Chain A
Amino acid sequence: METTVKETSVKQGHGRQDSAWSKGWKGFLRRTWPLHLMLLPAVLIQLVFAYVPLGGLIIAFQDYKPQLRFGSPWVGLDHFKFMFEYPDSKQVIINTALIAGLKMIFNIVVPFSFALLLNEVRINPFKRTVQTLVYLPYFISWVFLGGILNDMLSSDGIVNTLLHNWFGIESILFLGDGDWFRFTVILSDVWQQFGFGTIVYLAALAGINPALYEAAEVDGANRWKQTINITIPSLVPIVIVVGTLALGNILNAGFDQIFNLYTPLVYDKGDIIDTFVYRTGILNGQYSFSTAVGIFKSLVGFCLIVVGYRLAYKLADYKIF
C-alpha cells in the first residue's frame, strides 16, 4: 500500500504525500458527473416512453378527438360511469377476474405439487431432463403456441381425434365454445407456466436443513409424515410470498394468450379487459373510453400490489427493497 500511495502522488505530481491519495480518492467518489451522464440515456428513454404516456391518461376524462389532441372537451367521469353501466364492459371485468383468479390458484398449486414430486427423484440425470423439458414452453411466444394449439385443438385436430379413438368422445369445441374456452385458456396457461414456476420452490426445497429429516428418520417417521411435517411447513413462507405478490395480477388474465386463442364466437365468456381495450380503443377508435377502462384496471392492480406486499411482509417477513 505504502508504495502505491507514493507512486500515485508522484504520478499526479502532488507534493503532500500523506493525504494526497485519500483526498484524490474521495474527490473521485464525489465527482459524480460521469454517473449522471451514465444514467442519462435510461432517464431520457423512461421520460419519453413511460412518463409522457402517464400524462396522456387525462384523455380518460376527455372526449378525445385525434385532430383536437389534448384540447378535446372535458367530460369528467362519464367514461368511468359508462364502463359500469355498459353490459359488455361489466361482463369483461367478470371474465377477467374469473380467468385470472383461477389461473392464479392453479399456478401455485400445480408448480408446488410438481416441485414436491420432483424432489423425491434420486436419479439426477432424470431430474435434470424433466426440468429441461418442463421449463421450455415458458420461453415460447403465445403467437407460436397459439398457432400450435389452434391446429391441435381444432374439431379434426389431433386432440379430438385421440379423444374420439380412445374414449369415443364426440368432437369438443375447445376454442369455439365459451365454457370450454375458459377451460382451455386456464389449462394451457398452467401447461406453459408450471415448469418455470417450480424453480422457486425447488430453490426453497434445497434450503431445508437435512438434519430435520435425519431426526424424523430416527423417530421412525415415514416419507409421507416427513413431507407433511417438515417439507410443507418449510415451504409455507415462500408460498405466501408467491401468492400475495401474485395478487397484483388479479386483472391480468393474460393478453398475449387470449388474443392468440380467441375468436368472436367466445367474446361473451373469453373477452378480458386488455383485449377489450385493444379492440374498442385501437380498432374502433374509442380512445377515451378504453383509456378509462385501462385506468380502472391499473388502479385495482396497484391497490392489490400494495395489499400484497403488506401481507407478504406481515405473514412471511418478505421485503422487496
Chain B
Amino acid sequence: MYHKTVGYKMFSVLNYFILAAAGLLCVLPIVHILAISFSASAPANAHLVGLWPVDFNLESYTKTMNNPNFLRAFWIAIGRTLLGTFITMSVITLAGYALSKDTSFFKSRTKYAWYFVFTMLFNGGIIPSYILIRELHMMNTIWALVLPGAVSVFNMILLMNFFRATPKELEEAAFIDGAGHFSILFKVYMPLAMPAIATISLFTIVGNWNAWFDGLLYMTDYRKYPLATFLQTIIVQQDFSKLNPDVNELKNISQRTVKAAQIFIGIIPVLVIYPYLQKYFVKGIVLGAVKE
C-alpha cells in the first residue's frame, strides 16, 4: 500500500536519481580516460576533453603498441597471469580435495587445516620476504612473482567447502569402479565443482594481472617488470630514469593521451572478465560468508 502514497512516490523518484548518479560516478572516470586516449594531443593537453573524444584518432594507441618496453611488460603480465593461475589452481584444488575428507578417516586433517590457517593470520611482512627471495636467488625471475602468493588459503577453504557439499555416494560409486583418490578428484569432484573452480580462477587471473608491488619489490631490472609495475613506474611515479629514453621517446610516453591509452589497455582484461565474474561472485561470497 505504501507504494501509492505521494510521499513514497517522491522518495522513489529521488531514489532512482541518486542510484543512477552513484552508478555513473563509478564508471565516468573510466569513460573520461577512454575519451582522452582517443583524442588528439592538443585538445587533451588543453583539457578540452570530457566524456567524448575530441578530434578522434588512434595515434596514442599506435604509439603505445610501438613502444617495445610497453609490449615486453604486457607479455610478461600475460605470462605471469597464466603461469600463476595454473600453479594456484593446481595446488589449491589438490589441497582442497584432501582437506575435504572426513577427520574420522583422515586424522591429520585438522593439523593441516591449522597449518594453513596460521599463515592467514601471521606473516613475516615485506622485509623478511624480500631477504628470502634474495637469498633464494629468485630476484628478477618469474618465480618471485608467482610462487610467494600461490597458496590462497581463503580460496582453498572455499573449494574445500564446495567439495564437502558433493554427495558421498558419488565417491563410493567411483571407488567401486576401481578409482583412487586422484581419479575421484579429477573425474568426479572437479567436473561437479567446475562453477566454483571457474570463479576462483577468474579471481586469481584478475589478482595476478593487477599485482604490481611484487614486481617493484623483486625485480631490480625494469625489463622484467609486468605491465602493472611498469605502468606504476611510468605513469604514477613518473620515474623515467630506469628507461633512459631519448627526448623523442620521453615526449611520447609522457603525453597525456598516451598515458590514458596505457591505463586503458591495462584495464581491458579486467573489463573483459568482469561480466563473467559478476555472474558468480555474489554467489561465491555468500557461499563463503554464510555457513550452516
Contacts and interface: CB of A to CB of B under 8 A. Distances in A.
Contact of B236 (A143, A156, A281): A143
Interface string A32-59: 1011101101110110111111111101
B2 A151 contact: no
Nearest to A141: B210
A126 interface: yes
Given A39-B95, A281-B127, A46 B18 contact: no
Given A45-B147, A282-B127, A141 B228 contact: yes
A84 interface: no
Which of A140, A144, A161 is the most central at the interface, judged by chain B CB atoms within 10 Å of its CB? A144
Interface string A147-186: 1111110001110010000000000000000000000000
B207 to A, nearest CB: 9
A274 to B, nearest CB: 8
A53 B23 contact: no
A36 B289 CA distance: 28
Contact of B156 (A42, A222, A302): A42
Interface residues of B, number: 101
Interface string B41-83: 0000001001000000000000000000000000000000000
Contact of B119 (A51, A135, A256, A260): A51
A117 interface: yes
Contacts of A32: 101, 105-108
Given A144-B266, A203-B290, A294 B126 contact: yes
Interface string A183-205: 00000000100010001100100
Contacts, number: 258
A290 interface: yes
Interface residues of A, number: 92
A133 B27 contact: yes
B94 A41 contact: yes
Interface in B241-264: 256, 259-260, 262-263
Nearest to B30: A148
B231 A147 contact: yes
A68 interface: no
B191 interface: no
A52 B209 CA distance: 26
B97 A117 contact: no
Interface stretch (A23-31, A86-94, A100-108): A23-31
A154 to B, nearest CB: 9
B170 interface: no
B91 A41 contact: yes
Interface string B280-292: 0110011001100
Contacts of B126: 277-278, 281-282, 294
Interface in A115-142: 117-118, 120-122, 126, 129-130, 132-137, 139-141
Contacts of B8: 222-223
A121 B19 contact: yes
Contact of A217 (B2, B108, B289): B2
6 contacts: A11-B178, A46-B151, A195-B26, A222-B5, A291-B127, A291-B128
